[in-house]
Structure 1
């Protein structure tokens, strides 16, 4: 259907939607890609939305998935708007040319938030900057927490990941009408969105749906089924109901969120704890996605991957946890050893390489390497197709935050003028750094190369920090080499180390807020 300048109207497979022109970009918000996941659809794989007659208004962001709010400690840094309503399986499209035949590259974005928070409506994820530069941008809402990643004996696993697959299938079928090319789709995300991206790229069901992928501060991983079951059982115990999908579906939704948030306070990226995650399900996730990708599960797909220099500071600075970990000293290092399943040689090596670092910095970098840099190195090293690696090193103007987790988002999206971007970056974020980083992402989505050498024997890493972006070769190689020792790879946590972790969680020393 032709789109007129004042009021663009596009026909999707389920009905027509009317968007808005905003600064030469056509925007369609809250477009359903699946039916509301409640009632008979609760805890079930997504179903197509019911067709509608007439033209559906698509001017405002749609409902967000049920989620608890951030604590005050985190809310001062991160925005997480909530929109009420059951029709939460929706997406948004920004396009510079909403007409069939434009065949523009497409970037599909999966938000972060530990699979329990976040949405496509976070202001920093403003897709207009990508559309301004010739990319059709799509951002997706999906089920979170127990609704999306609870594991029950009477329901399929990973419904939130299946939502994301349904959104990808919608894009493949529908994006041509918005001016996009279904054969030039880049899937990307940050944190939990990057973990999800890795799982989807490795999945057999996405063959032909994705051409490139971006993994920001998140590596492909799986969570043990027993760990997720323990979260569900703890919730069931608090609610005094059976640990089944049927019983959870009958429970009060707000009470579910309160119990989930309370149990989630014991979880921490530093020491683990109860958490939801993607599990091997024998179908969409037949095996560990990292192993699958290294073994060639996604041939022909280019990767852009990276991390921030001080990821851990978002995990520790809110609530004054840096000082608390520094006071714990050797006890915190022992807990990190248990979290990373490594022997004492690894933290001793980190201390030798960084003699002036405090305990919190050593623990933070140790866990960051375990969760992010080490697996992303393995991924780049083990694939035949091009991989490009970056490090974001510009320090926030907010005290103590450094180049923390999620700080790079305002630069990737060139949305640093948003008040919500300044919550994390502070005032005075350099526009030239945003120009460089956003431009690299646009180039990668458009033609597969962000503008520097692909990963190879010399380990080129693009550094985005103070001053001009530049290449360093193997900037983390000395630390990551410590993980290749037999002790690092083979030693499981001892009962004593597990006891340390339990004590730290009980006394709240390293809780996630």
Structure 2
């Protein structure tokens, strides 16, 4: 099977090891020209067979800062037709299905990344009987600006359009449209949490995996300030009509200047989903706490040392002084007792390490614990990735687990973060848990209950810990 008929035309994939791959298959029309800052529209049907062997264009974006760019490869492929998906389907072909489907939503702070990143190759999933779909969506200003004359959350609307494409077309690739699991990391997980809270996305997926990205969103006023700052750089009003008169390249450069210097842990201007009263009627954490998507099994978790991806490469770890730690705690209203407890649990830790551990828990681990607590008695599974990378002393940092989930430790992208000798048995365990969850809804350990079970992947093995670091979690109520 190398030619498949979609609702918009036929596509020709390419046979590779363990899979047939279809890259750059459009799910929406190019969002350029008059379509900029508009909701996604269906692609134009095509005649004949469209070649789908090579990765398609990537969404407009600015590069990572140099220190991160060496660790997080982010290819740029020019072109307007970037609202597309890649599909890896088992080599056995569609007649051997239907196979469970996993849909990957990439991270990158909602302004980086694409489905062309080599680490996101879905061959291992196809090898193990899963159809893997990876999604592109609009990023940065084009996808998440808040404008008075355009819909909010355009990037999320793109993701919904992609999931609708999956619903309508994945059976032709051997997938089961009734057994779809969405999974994503960082901004991808934040996006999925928003979709779990968005009534318009109901029914488009059966299960969800959130990796290191909590249920979060901002009020319109917050994103309006970021949008206006970009418009000021451009010298135009903060409206979709005005932004359309400016080239995408200029918008991306202004966006880069406004966002420079911030990161997800230390703060600063950023892009986030917006509680717009339409696609997102309320904050995702509040919606999920009151039972939204309560029938959707969840697998959620973090890495042990998320903060090291931002604190180590740029030297922030060394720059944080004891006074800087105290001031940061005051700004975030962190109890003074927290520094003592976190410090006692990490003998010899520097102020930057204590600040990072506090930030990791405050922004990621605690929201996931609260989400799991709100769903106690349901199908919620919690994990922690604890294997420390030897590269630059990154430890168990943000994004490190992705190569293990995709079972791609042999790829150059994985080597950038994990080195060349990362433990394959840990990838076997983690990838196996994700595929089991997609297949059955059970990753292989006990669902969340009053004992607070957490599957800890590494540093030496994968095993369940009950209420790990409970003394730290209890500080936050």
Residue 454 of structure 1 corresponds to 447
Within the candidate set 472, 477, 481, 2:474 is matched to 481
CA-to-partner distance for each residue in 1:181-212, whole Å, 9 max, x for gaps? Answer: 11100011000000101111221122221111
1:14 aligns with 2:14: no
Aligned-partner Cα distance in 2 for 1:461–1:279: 31
1:346 aligns with 2:338: yes
- 1:351-366 residue pairs with structure 2 within 5 A? 351-366=343-358
Q: Is the 8 A contact 1:271 1:336 kept in 2?
A: no
Residue 368 of structure 2 corresponds to 376
- 1:222-371 residue pairs with structure 2 within 5 A? 222-325=217-320, 328-338=321-331, 340-371=332-363
Aligned-partner Cα distance in 2 for 1:186–1:270: 28
Q: Is the 8 A contact 1:101 1:176 kept in 2?
A: no
Aligned-partner Cα distance in 2 for 1:114–1:311: 14
TM-score of the superposed pair, with normalisation by structure 2: 0.97
CA-to-partner distance for each residue in 1:101-149, whole Å, 9 max, x for gaps? Answer: 7211000000000000000111111101000000000000000000000
Residue 81 of structure 2 corresponds to 87
Aligned-partner Cα distance in 1 for 2:103–2:74: 19
Three-state SS of the structure 1 residue aligned to 2:306 is: coil
- 1:144-223 residue pairs with structure 2 within 5 A? 144-223=139-218
Aligned-partner Cα distance in 2 for 1:252–1:110: 27
Residue 504 of structure 1 corresponds to none
Aligned-partner Cα distance in 2 for 1:342–1:225: 26
1:58 aligns with 2:52: yes
Aligned-partner Cα distance in 2 for 1:411–1:247: 44
Deviation of the 1:337 alpha carbon: 4.0
Aligned-partner Cα distance in 2 for 1:436–1:343: 37
Aligned-partner Cα distance in 1 for 2:139–2:326: 32
Q: Is the 8 A contact 2:60 2:252 kept in 1?
A: yes
Aligned-partner Cα distance in 2 for 1:239–1:207: 38
CA-to-partner distance for each residue in 1:61-102, whole Å, 9 max, x for gaps? Answer: 111100011222111111001110011100000001442672
Instruction: State the Cα RMSD in Å.
Output: 1.4
Q: Is the 8 A contact 2:265 2:363 kept in 1?
A: no
1:397 aligns with 2:390: yes
Residue 127 of structure 1 corresponds to 122
Q: Is the 8 A contact 2:31 2:37 kept in 1?
A: yes
Three-state SS of the structure 2 residue aligned to 1:307 is: strand
Which deviates more from structure 2 when the two are superposed, residues 405-414 or residues 248-257?
Answer: 248-257
Q: Is the 8 A contact 1:223 1:276 kept in 2?
A: no
Which deviates more from structure 2 when the two are superposed, residues 96-105 or residues 68-77?
Answer: 96-105
Three-state SS of the structure 1 residue aligned to 2:244 is: helix
Deviation >6 Å, runs of 4+? none
Aligned-partner Cα distance in 1 for 2:374–2:12: 45
Aligned-partner Cα distance in 2 for 1:271–1:337: 14
Residue 507 of structure 1 corresponds to none
Deviation of the 1:329 alpha carbon: 2.0
Aligned-partner Cα distance in 2 for 1:438–1:115: 25
Deviation of the 1:266 alpha carbon: 3.0
Q: Is the 8 A contact 2:313 2:392 kept in 1?
A: no
Three-state SS of the structure 2 residue aligned to 1:399 is: helix
Which deviates more from structure 2 when the two are superposed, residues 221-230 or residues 239-248?
Answer: 221-230
Aligned-partner Cα distance in 2 for 1:77–1:189: 19
Three-state SS of the structure 1 residue aligned to 2:71 is: coil
TM-score of the superposed pair, with normalisation by structure 1: 0.90
CA-to-partner distance for each residue in 1:313-362, whole Å, 9 max, x for gaps? Answer: 0011112111111xx32223322442x44343433443344453211111
- 1:481-500 residue pairs with structure 2 within 5 A? 481-484=474-477
Q: Is the 8 A contact 2:183 2:189 kept in 1?
A: yes
Structure 2 unaligned spans of 5+: none
Q: Is the 8 A contact 1:98 1:177 kept in 2?
A: no
Within the candidate set 89, 101, 105, 2:100 is matched to 105
